Structure formats: structure tokens, C-alpha cells
Amino acid sequence: MRFRSLATGVIAAAATAGLLLAGCSSPGSGSTDDQPVTGTLDFFTNKAAWKPDFDELNKTSEPGTKITLNTTGYSDANQYDAFIKQSFRTDKSPGLFTWQTGPSLKELVDEKLVAETTDVWTEAVAQGWVTEDLRETYTYDGKQYCVPMNIAYWVMYYNKKIFAENDVTVPTSWPELDAAAAKLKTAGVTPYYQTSTLFTFQWFQQLVAGTDPALYNGLATGEVKYTDPRIVAIMNEWLDQHKKGWFSDPGSNTDPANGLKQGDFAMINFGSFFNGSLDGAGMKSGEDYGFFVIPAKNADLPATPVAVETGPICVAENSKQKALGLAYSKWWMSPEAQSAWSSARGDVPFNPKATVADKSLEELGQEVATDKYTLVERTTRPPRRRS
């Protein structure tokens, strides 16, 4: 499969995008000659809610690699970014941390702040653990940096009981999706989840990608501006849906999995890792909830766009734990690690030789691999503004 580069983000944040990393080199040579490759590895992530899943992996990594993750999670994205960028200026640069692909990762690579992982990727590809296409996402000037934390497809989850009670069927076209939302709203059910915190971008992403993937790709490169009339038209459609009352309270503090369970809304556009959250909330896949690929807004597209997310785990070049971080990165690519991750997180493993815990996710992976769909890469940050 071939990934299209696709940048996303809150519209208001577009004006402040950019890492501002110039001059952020940290002390030390980055040499791993005298560094240990076993022990406790300090791991920082912007996936605070996933800390229990990373902790669960220690049951598998400790016997196999003698490495234990000491995970620190951040729930505020801006606070996390500031912490990571500041750490590069000190001798506290992390041995392992999560980031995002695309321009944000390129900034780190250009500043020589992250460790090269070409050897790790070469072995993984040779073993059949990852595809060449996935490697391209992590390639800069012919070399690889970081490894994939996960791969997830962004689909529409729905409460099966609410659909059945209101005689709503899974939509197979955009008009059917709009009709379902209107029918649910008339019945007093809020159709869609929306938030003003972590994932504020996904519906805008879906509207643009479903209209024209090349248009959204232009946002990533800066060739298309947010003031482009085509983008403004899509924003106005988004606004119109909001005025219709199709979205839940964006300021709600209710966990989205619990919100879907208790009927605060009928549908939620989320990554396929959401299975784990729903299972944890006491919902059963195939019984209490299901998911479907969101139809293309533009029916003339040759294939339905599906947003795919692959977030990297990186090692700081000048970290005192660089060797330990690279050792863990190598293990992370293995079937053993990815089977454990799939079991702990309820997510789709990127390693095709891993065991998939949830068969519905396995079927999803098989479905989107067909010619009926095209994958567009979803990232967590807005594009840099062109001067």
C-alpha cells in the first residue's frame, strides 16, 4: 500500500505551527559505546491514557530483552511538545519518546536530534516484519529515523443499539450518512462526537480527504492555504452541520468510550485503537458497537480515502540512554512485541506476522487493502505556514 502525506490540525492552530528548533542541539556526542543495553528505559509519551498498555508490555519485554519501560504520560499536547523540545537543550534528552510523522519529524531529523534507525528497519524489512511502503514514511534523505509506535485506520464507530432502536443502517454513501445523522437528530439523539481538547481535527480531515485527497495533501505541503475557496466551502459545511446540532458538547469531560456506551452520541470518528477503550468501557465488539469505513463525500473519487495514522517512537541522538532506546526499538518491530501490543492495546499491529487480538480489526485491515480504498496519512499537527 502507498501512503499519501496528509497533515491535519485545528484550524486556529495553523498560524502557530512549527517546531522552532534552531539551535536546540544538546551536549554530548551521542556515542553508545559505553551505554547499557538492558535496564530501565525512561519513556515519555503524549498518549497519557495509554500508559497502562505500555506498562503491560513490560511483562513481555522484561523476559525477552531485560528492558523495562518507565513511562511518563502527558495529556496536554502543547505541554508535551514544549517538554520534549526543551529536553534537547539539556543532558536529559529522552531515551525513548513518541512524536508524529511528517514535517514535525523532519524538523527533528534536520536538526540531528533523533537517532538513525536504518539498521533496525533493514533487518525488519528483511524479516518480513514491515513493508517497504511503511518504511518510506520514516525515510529522510535515504535513511530511516524512529520506528512506528502503531498503525491505525480512522473509521466511524457506532452504538449498535442506538442504530437498531432508530432503524438506522450502516451508510454506504455520503448522502446516506447525512440522512442517518438527520434521522438521529430528529429522534433526539446527537449523531456525532466532537471535542475541543485532544482530537479536534478528525471531522475536518474527513471532509477534506473525502472531497479531494490531493487538496488535503496540498495543506501538508503548504501549496493549499486555509483561505483557499475550496477549503472555506468545506469549513462552511462543517459549520452548517454544527448549527444543525449534529455534534456533542465539545467541552464535555466524559470519556468518549463511556459517552458512546451511554448514548451521549451515536457515532464517533476515531482510530482503530479505540477498540481497546470501548472494550475497557464494557462494550463488546460486534454486539454493543461496530465500525465502518466512512464513505467518500465525493462519489466520483476512484477509491474511498481512509485516513491512516502511524505515530513514531523515537530515540534522542544525544541521550544517555540511546543504546537502550535503540535496543528496545529493535525489539518493538518483532512479532513478539507487536502481538503483545495488539493484545494490550486492542490495536492493529503493523507487523503482519503478529497475532491480531481482535478479528474485526484483522478484517478491517484486509478490507482497506483492496483497490476500493486509498490510504491517506493522518498526522497530529497542522502544516507549517508558507512565508
**What are the E-state strand segments in 267-355?**
267-271, 289-292, 304-309, 312-314
Per-residue pLDDT, averaged over 30-37, amounts to 71
And the C-alpha cell for 223? 501549496
Three-class secondary structure of residue 371 per DSSP: coil
Most confident of 106-115, 270-279, 358-367: 106-115
**Residues making up the chain, counted from first to last:** 387
Region at 196 (left for phi over 0; alpha for psi -120 to 50; beta for the rest): alpha
pLDDT of 84 strictly over 50:
yes
pLDDT of 375 reads: 80
Report long-range pairs for 133-139 (Cβ below 8 Å, ≥24 apart).
133/1, 133/2, 133/3, 134/3, 134/310, 134/350, 136/3, 137/3, 137/101, 137/310, 137/377, 138/101, 138/105, 138/312
How confident is the model at residue 376, as a pLDDT? 83
Using an 8 Å Cβ cutoff, are 269 and 262 in contact? no
Please give the share of the chain, as a percent, with pLDDT higher than 90.
61
Q: Are 24 and 300 in contact (CB under 8 A)?
A: no
Query: 77 with 382: CB under 8 angstroms?
Result: no
In angstroms, the CA 160 to CA 27 distance is: 55
Distance from C-alpha of 203 to C-alpha of 247, rounded to nearest angstrom = 10
What is residue 353's predicted lDDT score, i.e. its pLDDT?
84
Q: Tell me the average pLDDT of the chain.
A: 86
**142: alpha, beta or left, given left = phi > 0 and alpha = psi -120 to 50?**
left
For residue 24, what pLDDT is reported? Answer: 41
- For 115, residues 6+ apart whose C-beta sits below 8 A from its C-beta are 30, 145, 314, 315, 316, 317, 319, 322, 325, 326
**Which residues face 350 on adjacent strands?**
none
Share of the chain above pLDDT 70, in %: 89
- Residues ≥6 apart with Cβ < 8 Å to 286: 360
Q: Which one is predicted more confidently, 202 or 295?
A: 295
* Owner of C-alpha cell 443502517: 169
pTM reported for the whole predicted model: 0.69
What 3-state DSSP class applies to 312?
A: strand
Strand 152-159 relative to strand 304-309, pairing: antiparallel
- The predicted pLDDT at position 7 comes to 40
End-to-end Cα, the chain, rounded Å:
33
Of 105-114, 191-200, 310-319, minimum mean pLDDT range: 191-200
Residue 162, C-beta contacts closer than 8 angstroms, at least 6 positions apart: 168, 184, 189, 263, 266
Higher pLDDT, 32 or 246: 246
The pLDDT, as a whole number, for residue 33 is 63
Strand-pair partners of 378: 309
Domains of the chain: 11-21+35-151+310-358 (3.40.190.10), 153-304 (3.40.190.10)
Given this model, what pLDDT does residue 12 score? 34
Across the range 67-71, mean pLDDT stands at 95
Highest mean pLDDT among 127-141, 173-187, 220-234: 173-187
pLDDT digits (tens, 9 = 90+) for 290-343: 999 999 999 999 999 998 888 899 999 999 999 999 999 999 999 999 999 888
